[in-house]
Structure 1
Amino acid sequence: MQQYKEIKHLANAIYGDVVLCKDNKSGHLVVIKRAIIEHCKAHKPVAQQYRHVIVSEDIYVERKLLRELSQGRGHPHVLRLVADFDTKEAHHFVVEYCSKGDLFDVLYKAPGCRFDLTQAQTYFRQIVSAVAFLHAKGYAHRDLSFENVLVNDKNECKLMDFGLAVDLYTPQTAEVGKPYYMPPEVASRCSSSPPYDPAKVDVWALGIMLFIMLTGNQLFDKAVDRYANFQIFKSSGLRGLVASNKRWAATMPTHVLDLLDKMIRMNPAERMTIDQVASHAFVNLSATTPIDRTKKGDANPMKWLEMRFPRLSFTAK
């Protein structure tokens, strides 16, 4: 830590904390995420109230991806790893500083807790670009949310927190992520549930994020049958759910509804791929890298703003 001067504590993290520092060599502000090795290996949070749970986040997966995604020029909308090092007690990740905090904070401060169409489009394009880059590298994020996107002083989004990332082509079984963003195949899992496609989990979560950006509302607390909105969605699809709410129906542009309808589908096989999202007229990312889907080897309004999710995705011990 001799190269860095600690300025202030920014946030608690699952396995440690996050601090703002000054790089004594370059003079630049950076952020250092410290993760206590003992807790990382045991998958146990440092926060006393969560000591009874085993968390799913894997700090070693996160380190691997941060290193890989930051190679060369990295990606303009993926948080860049500046350096990483270990002490006897902790792993340290030095990353770029994003002065505006996470996208949740930015959205909360926006008029009506929502973005106008132009701002939503700008942020969404950037996030889709980052996820397309991640998928092209062969990984799915599985925890896309406003809390996992930072914003710098240039209003650029930076995707972060890769501790739940998995191989894009390997079906998954774990119920992980944050409830508002979980698709049905993750939110309502039981012992007999078939494995799910993690790539399509990311597409659903992106759709939920875009919907919230534009409306200031969540679609459902969780994509399970006990919520009335989800029952409407199951029977009538997203278009039917939007039509059931006069304000949503009056303010949702047709081309955006077309995109959301193709992202937020009950059947994962019917959802768009990330490349299809990137190619949609609303997003129109001309530089999106095509993804080979051949398996490697063998080939209630504003309620969501009342509670900020703990940055935990856990399984009870």
Structure 2
Amino acid sequence: MSHLSKRFIGRIFWRLRGVHPSQIKQDTDDIKNVIAKVIEQKKSRQSAATSLKEKAGGNFKMDVLDRLMEDGYKNTSKESAFTEEELKDEIFAFFLALLQISKNPNNNVIFTSFSGHETTANTMTFVVLELAKHPKILEKVRAEVTEVLKLGNGTLTYENLGHLKYVEAVIKESQRLYPVVPFLSRSSQKDQTLLNYSIPKGSRVMVNIIGLHKNPLYWKNPNEFLPERWIEEGFAPVSGSYIPFGDGPTNCIGQKLAMIEMKTVISMLFYEYEIALVEGQDLEPVSTGTMGLKN
């Protein structure tokens, strides 16, 4: 399909949703203008960063944009450093990743809820599936949650989430078996050789996360759901063998929030409800960008 045809079809779909292309462009321009102003403010702030750090006693905290700018402006010799336009595009991408588009009654496009919802929801779906299949593991989850709730007088507090070691192990094991983002894409920054394969600079390299997570070189009984592996004394996955949130400096910026959300929802869900599998369902995972179940 030609690029022109794709654009034409895309516009038809937007119009069917009551959104005009000119409205999308205007909203995009408005957002990018705000980003440009924030970048200018950050430039001024970074120029005084040294003195600010001294005034704050070394506790000067940098956010994601600060770090991207520091890398781009202080390391201009690096081929990977961001230009100012690339920086704007990167922050715009962050904005879209954090927010999903919805439509209000006045037909204005607004940004309302966190996107990441699909990956987190799919992970919790797989947790529910595995716990429904393993009632003894579910009993351990419920017992731990019951004890932790006592610490907060019946309330699951943020401070007590850290005590949910077994719940976290269950979530991690589900992420190992069902990485909802099954592949990573990376670009080779230079000509290199890996396992006798030549990888030219600029090549697109795909990382098979499912393959890593089920590789018997790194995991005992890789196809079995064994949360206990995560709480064994001295256990730590081999570096690079477990990457449900990606890896390196471009890994998921929302992973801590996602874990807090999943521990909270899973704990209270199984504390309050009994869940059982319904026979005759197709429970094979499907991948449409992210891995999930059909229904």
The TM tier, using the shorter chain, reads under 0.3
> Which structure carries more strand by proportion?
1
Instruction: With the length of structure 1 as denominator, give the TM-score of the two structures.
Output: 0.21
Instruction: With the length of structure 2 as denominator, give the TM-score of the two structures.
Output: 0.22
> Which structure carries more helix by proportion?
2
